[in-house]
A and B are shown apart, each in its own frame.
Chain A
Amino acid sequence: MTTRPLAFSSALLFCTAAAGAAWWPFGPAYGKPLQTVRALSAQGRSADVLTALNPVFMQTLRSPDLRDAYLLRGEAFEALGRPDAALGEYQVGTGLFPKSVVLLTHEGSLLHHDGLDEHARELFKLALGYEPKNWRAHLGLAEIESRLGFLDRSAAHYESALEARPAQADAWRDYAGVLFDLREPTAAEYALHKSLDLAPNDAAAHVLLAFVLRAQDDYPGAFAQLDAAAALGGGTGVLRAKALWLLEAGRRNDAAAAATAILAVEPGDPVALWVRARLLLPSDPSGAAKILEPFSARADDAPFSARAAAVLRDAALQEAQKREKIRDANANAK
């Protein structure tokens, strides 16, 4: 064989191999260029992730590594407390990879966090178009639909999310909240028990269960749940709920004691003062009005408790005046 045909054949073989390398499905292996970066991400070294995924390196990546790189950059920015930058990464990512469900759901989550629910909703719906059972999209839509007021749609999405991931305690709790708002207390109670089975120390779940039981007029059960929440560090809100509900249940002495306990830690608490005023109203409406006076306000932008106090104060004073007139009339009659 002569040299020229051999050289030509070698060159042809080389070109074919080079072209084939681009096509060869077994290499360069997907994921290998990002192995180190993933390890950094798993270790929580977000700043190092961003350093590693610099623009020069990004340019060497191909799909799907490039897609994952945008995801890793976005997650790193989120971990560093820079959601705006993270959103930018996800948006570039979804622009390049519009069918990437993971990028769509990450972008949707951030938009939802920023209160841009109508935009987030569209992204989650898009993700479900590609992956109808994606639990993260269902969970995101469940929260958004609930916030927008579409309770039945929210419930349906929670059901789908929980079908895929039945061990999510907070999802069961939030689903229960939606069922409660749909006025389905029995179903809400069931969902809350599922949540508490998974996370017995979730104070928020105990509080919600208290509301559900109270809605069914089960005050003893409700108080037990409030006590459980208080023991788990439920805060002043739990004490306030108890004081008001003791009033509702007609346990006036206990309501008074609960109000005193709140005022010991939060002097001037509007709920505690309201309870005190309500308790005093039958016997001493003037005294009740005096209790309400300090936090009464009529301005449209005043807190609701202040406006309610102002109205009740007026009613109490009217009642006091009425009683005085009756007393005077009786005295004159004698």
Chain B
Amino acid sequence: MRRAVALALALLAAAGPVLAAPDLSADGLLRDHLWREVRRAPVGRRPRVGLVLSAGSLRGVAHVGVIRVLENAGFPIDVVAGTSMGSVVGSFYAGGIPLERMWKIAINLRMDSGANLSVRSLIFLILFDRLLSSENAEKMIRLTLHGMTFDRLLKPFACVSMDIYTGEAIIFRDGDVATAVRASMNLPGIFQPLEYRHRFLVDGGVVDYIPVDAARLLGAQWTLASVTETDFTAARPKSVLDALEQVIDIRGAYLSREQRRQANFLIEPPVGGIGMFDSQRIPEALDKGVIAAAKRLPAAEESLILASIPLLAPGWSAESAGAAR
């Protein structure tokens, strides 16, 4: 039995590199050394970093897992932009909501968290074409953020919705956060358009699935996009809701193919198989966000480091011999 214990221990010890053990290779040490510089550098000696959170309905809770990994790693995030569920998560993050709380909110999300999806209201939707209201979503967001306006958020934040009458992407950067986020996640065909500032607003995912441009408007010079896209080829719609979901997913997928190229770095949690309204699989989406981000973290650090070296180099060139840090 003792031999079995020793063997098992040896197996565990030999089970590949433990994530936490320092990497002493040339690449690992240089990355660690330069990452230390980048993390400590003010904007100006490194690019202004924008976190971009895509649309994706309930799949978008994976963004919380991504943010968790970035936070643990001390990844500098200067500005945040989001669409649809990305705007919900982004607003909470920009508002300084602790990660544990964001995780709990995500775990408890249900399809009806944003609206009254009682049988009566659904009957009205189907029989009388009366769209639902996303007022509950706005209340939930306002409660969580304590009624913050954009200027009170801890990080600059922008979210995107669409004017259903003109098809324009409307980027919110000021005013009431809860209303703006509600507009951004206002699913067309389910929720009534939100009339706000002379616009009739629905989910921004229809025109701006990955809002890199919104992040750049906030001054981002290097963007990391978390993209929760679906695999629409696997879906077989059976109901009106399924069909609407499929159409939105297809539109989002084609849109994101172009927009991906605009981001400097992508993290793509593999949540494509999770349905837009599949709240049972939220814990799985959260975990997939963590796993995807943890895998891509070293490459993300490398990408930001390489973008930072041209900004760090002038300072290095100005170092005098014998100067201590």
- A residues apposed to B, CB below 8 Å: 41-42, 71, 75, 78-79, 102, 105-106, 109-110, 112-113, 115, 136, 139-140, 143, 146-151, 154, 168, 170, 174, 176-178, 180-183, 204, 207-208, 211, 235-238, 240-241, 244-245, 247-253, 269-271, 274, 278, 281-283, 285, 303-305, 307-308, 311-312, 314-316, 319
User: B165 an interface residue at 8 Å Cβ cutoff?
Assistant: no
CB neighbours (8 Å) of B72 from chain A are: 151, 181-183
A78 touching B7, Cβ below 8 Å: yes
The distance from the CB of B192 to the nearest CB of chain A, in whole angstroms, is 40
Interface residues on B, range: 35 or more
CB neighbours (8 Å) of B5 from chain A are: 136
Question: Which of B139-147, B196-204, B290-298 makes up part of the contact surface?
Answer: B290-298
What's the Cα separation between A236 and B72 when bound, in Å?
29
Contacts across chains A and B counted by CB atoms under 8 Å: 163
B321 touching A149, Cβ below 8 Å: no
A102 touching B4, Cβ below 8 Å: yes
Instruction: Give the residue of A105, A151, A305 whose beta carbon is less than 8 angstroms from that of B27.
Output: A305
B291 touching A241, Cβ below 8 Å: no
B321 touching A282, Cβ below 8 Å: yes
CB neighbours (8 Å) of B4 from chain A are: 71, 75, 102, 106
CB-CB nearest in chain B for A243 = B29
- B residues apposed to A, CB below 8 Å: 3-5, 7-9, 11-16, 18-22, 24-27, 29-31, 33-34, 36, 69, 72, 74, 287, 290-291, 293-295, 297, 302, 305-306, 309-310, 313-314, 316-325
B306 touching A307, Cβ below 8 Å: yes
A250 touching B26, Cβ below 8 Å: no
B22 touching A211, Cβ below 8 Å: yes
What's the Cα separation between A58 and B322 when bound, in Å?
74
A42 touching B310, Cβ below 8 Å: no
CB-CB nearest in chain A for B4 = A75
A113 touching B14, Cβ below 8 Å: yes
Known: A177-B21, A252-B321, A315-B310. 18 other contacts (CB 8 A): A78-B7, A102-B4, A106-B8, A113-B11, A147-B16, A147-B19, A148-B294, A149-B294, A177-B22, A237-B24, A240-B26, A241-B22, A248-B36, A281-B317, A282-B319, A303-B26, A304-B302, A305-B27
CB neighbours (8 Å) of A143 from chain B are: 12, 15, 18
The distance from the CB of B23 to the nearest CB of chain A, in whole angstroms, is 8
What's the Cα separation between A140 and B309 when bound, in Å?
39
What's the Cα separation between A105 and B8 when bound, in Å?
9
B309 touching A312, Cβ below 8 Å: yes
A149-B293 contact given A78-B11, A282-B316, CB 8 Å threshold: yes
B22 touching A207, Cβ below 8 Å: yes
B317 touching A112, Cβ below 8 Å: no
CB neighbours (8 Å) of B33 from chain A are: 244-245, 247-248
A285-B317 contact given A181-B20, A274-B30, CB 8 Å threshold: yes
CB neighbours (8 Å) of A181 from chain B are: 19-20, 72
B305 touching A281, Cβ below 8 Å: no
B29 touching A271, Cβ below 8 Å: yes
Instruction: Give the residue of A168, A248, A252, A308 whose beta carbon is less than 8 angstroms from that of B306.
Output: A308
What's the Cα separation between A71 and B322 when bound, in Å?
62
Instruction: Give the residue of A115, A208, A312 whose beta carbon is less than 8 angstroms from that of B313.
Output: A312
What's the Cα separation between A317 and B239 when bound, in Å?
63
The distance from the CB of B322 to the nearest CB of chain A, in whole angstroms, is 6
